[in-house]
Amino acid sequence: MEFPAPTIIHADADLLVVDKPAGILSIPDGYDRAVPYLGGVLEPSYGRLWVVHRLDKETSGVMVFARNERSHKALSTQFSSYQVSKTYHVLIDGNPDWEENTIEVPLRTNVGRRNRTAVDIANGKDAVTHFRVLERFPRHALLAAYPKTGRTHQIRVHIYDLGYSILSDPLYGLGNLSPFIGRLALHALSLSIWHPTTGELITFEAQYPKDFNEGVHQLRLIASASQDGG
């Protein structure tokens, strides 16, 4: 899959923050080392980078790298102890009957042949996500998701457990591409961390990419036409 070059949001001696495009891996592929990944694309220009968190391949948005071992340790501690604040926007099939909802359901990773994440009350790890409805459409909704923990596929599985699915989600969705967006409709909108050197709380944001923005626009047009026709 072709993908646009990542946009640099912020760079200093400790941090490199990028707007990750959909379609590129966050880390090297476990089977084929020739597959492009984000760090490999960036390191020729920015030197060695340390990964402190990941985004799914088809997820777009804010991702931060450490640029030295000290920053890597500090940032890894923040992520592992849930000191960071993350906001995602997501388009879903269906229209929830709530405005806000917090789900606390333990998750277990690498389940089955497709390595899915599954709800596992007995053996899963604690996982907490807060959701808020931002905009409603006739058969869809735009949500904000605030994961308090950082489990693999957490937002996707928690949405699924609530009875909904993210548009064009091949693992936890309807199994087909949405006409509104041709990839997982999940965007990492903002990330707040404590700077490893200054101690300042800083927030980085990434605007919607073209495909996500167009998906929202199309749903708004349909909603407007439905209201006009009603």
Q: Could you give the CA distance from residue 117 to residue 92 in angstroms, rounded to a whole number?
A: 19
pLDDT of amino acid 65? 98
pLDDT exceeds 60 at position 104: yes
Give the pLDDT band (50/70/90) at residue 5: confident
- Residue 175, class by beta-carbon neighbours within 10 Å (0-12 exposed, 13-18 middle, 19+ buried)? exposed
pLDDT exceeds 70 at position 113: no
Is 70 among the domain residues? Answer: yes
pLDDT of amino acid 101? 98
Distances, alpha carbon 27 to alpha carbons 36, 38, 87, 154, in Å: 9, 7, 21, 18
pLDDT of amino acid 57? 95
Structural domain count of the chain: 1
For residues 174 and 122, the model is more confident at 122
pLDDT exceeds 90 at position 110: no
Q: Could you give the CA distance from residue 205 to residue 191 in angstroms, rounded to a whole number?
A: 7
Q: Could you give the CA distance from residue 7 to residue 118 in angstroms, rounded to a whole number?
A: 33
pLDDT of amino acid 229? 62
Is 162 among the domain residues? Answer: yes
pLDDT of amino acid 227? 76
What is the pLDDT averaged over residues 151-155?
95
Is 55 among the domain residues? Answer: yes
- Retrieve residue 180's tokens: 């509104």
Is 132 among the domain residues? Answer: yes
SS3 content of the chain, % helix, strand, coil (to 5): 20, 35, 45
What is the pLDDT averaged over residues 71-80?
97
Q: Could you give the CA distance from residue 52 to residue 81 in angstroms, rounded to a whole number?
A: 12
Is 152 among the domain residues? Answer: yes
Is 53 among the domain residues? Answer: yes
Q: Looking at the annotation, which residues are catalytic?
A: 56
pLDDT of amino acid 102? 97
Provide the strand spans (E) within 21-67.
Answer: 50-51, 60-66
Is 2 among the domain residues? Answer: no
pLDDT of amino acid 31? 78
pTM: 0.94
Q: Do 216 and 187 meet the contact criterion of CB atoms below 8 Å apart?
A: no
Give the pLDDT band (50/70/90) at residue 230: low
- Residue 28, class by beta-carbon neighbours within 10 Å (0-12 exposed, 13-18 middle, 19+ buried)? middle
Distances, alpha carbon 34 to alpha carbons 28, 43, 48, 52, 53, in Å: 8, 15, 18, 22, 21
pLDDT exceeds 60 at position 1: no
Domain that holds residue 14: 7-229
Cα dihedral sign, 216-132-16-26: negative
Among 188, 190, 136, which Cα is nearest to 164's?
136
CATH of the domain at 201: 3.30.2350.10
What is the pLDDT averaged over residues 57-68?
98
Distances, alpha carbon 156 to alpha carbons 19, 88, 134, 153, 181, in Å: 20, 11, 17, 5, 16
Is 117 among the domain residues? Answer: yes
What is the pLDDT averaged over residues 165-193?
94
Convert the pLDDT of each residue in 124-148 to its tens digit. Answer: 999 999 999 999 999 999 999 999 9
pLDDT of amino acid 146? 98
The residue whose two tokens read 């961390």 is 193
